[in-house]
Amino acid sequence: MEKHIAFQYRGQEQVPVLKQVETETGMFPCLYFPLLEETGIAGHCFTTRLGGVSRGMFESLNLSFARGDEREAVEENFRRTAKALGTAYGDFVLTDQTHTTNVRRVGREDAGKGLLRERGYTDTDGLITNEPGLVLSAFFADCVPLYFVDTRQKAIGLSHSGWRGTVGRMGKATLEAMKREFQTEVEDVVCAVGPSICQSCYEVSEDVALEFEQEFSGHRDEILQNKGNGKYQLDLWRANEIVLSEAGIRKEHLAVTRLCTCCNHKLLFSHRASHGKRGNLGAFLYLK
């Protein structure tokens, strides 16, 4: 299966790009954004559900300890991810995602938190750092990963943005945290909106749609399609693009995914497609 991987992209542009990393345990398929790679200062990836050792509904590269998978399998999956990234197993620092817009600065003293030891923090959907080698880690199965690289101050951020995070403008919150902690100027930041559920697959109720109508005044038709009977199709990709653009990110510094987790549920974990019976994908970002 891993030798013949075909994704269904929305639109002609294939973003992000699939690559196969060769390790001693075999080929490790992962996704990356050329725009982030071109900065030269940061390494990153977004995992697929291939290349790991988990079984059953978690097959095979599940990166969640909280969904019922065997801990030993998840730990091995992290080890394989570290090898593919060219980092160490103990360099990961994990979010504690509860659909907030809370962003935490982490440093070398936080290495291994959430994996080798207790986090010591809760309700943290975004992480930022300016310390090389520390691997910021967030987890997904339809929600939106947001990557940030400050090319001047050499600082990075990684955030989880579901519908609550998006309507709360998590992208803006992350940039504000980087400005506060690292004196980041938005014109120096390169961003990517990662693989997540597309508008065609993402139906929401009227109360959710109303929140977006209020927060994104003037952009209703860009992000919402009324399907009738109180149901709407929500475009999280475009909504996050608006958040980042209005926060000051330049168009040429922003890559927006065209890859849907739900459309590609055999190759990516999707909460919607699996009705909750799934593992987690991982987004990872570190300073070289």
**37-92 residue pLDDT tens:** 999 999 999 999 999 999 999 999 999 999 999 999 999 999 999 999 999 999 99
Task: Return the number of other C-beta atoms located less than 10 Å from residue 229's C-beta.
Answer: 6
Q: How confident is the model at residue 4 (pLDDT cuts 50, 70, 90)?
A: low
Q: Which domains does the chain have, with CATH numbers?
A: 17-198+253-287 (3.60.140.10)
**83-119 residue pLDDT tens:** 999 999 999 999 999 999 999 999 999 999 999 999 9
Would you say 276 and 269 are in contact if contact means Cβ atoms under 8 Å apart? no
**Of 137, 138, 159, 170, nearest to 239 (Cα)?**
170
**Of 260, 267, 236, nearest to 3 (Cα)?**
267
Q: Which amino acid is at 122?
A: T
Residue 41, helix vs strand vs coil = coil
Would you say 104 and 127 are in contact if contact means Cβ atoms under 8 Å apart? yes
pLDDT of residue 2: 45
pLDDT at residue 268 is higher than 90: yes
pLDDT at residue 194 is higher than 70: yes
Q: Which two tokens stand for residue 279?
A: 């593992």
Distance between CA atoms of 118 and 94, rounded to whole angstroms? Answer: 10
In angstroms, the Cα distances linking 228 to 108, 200, 202, 203, 217 are 51, 15, 14, 11, 21
- Please give the model's pTM, rounded to 2 decimal places: 0.98
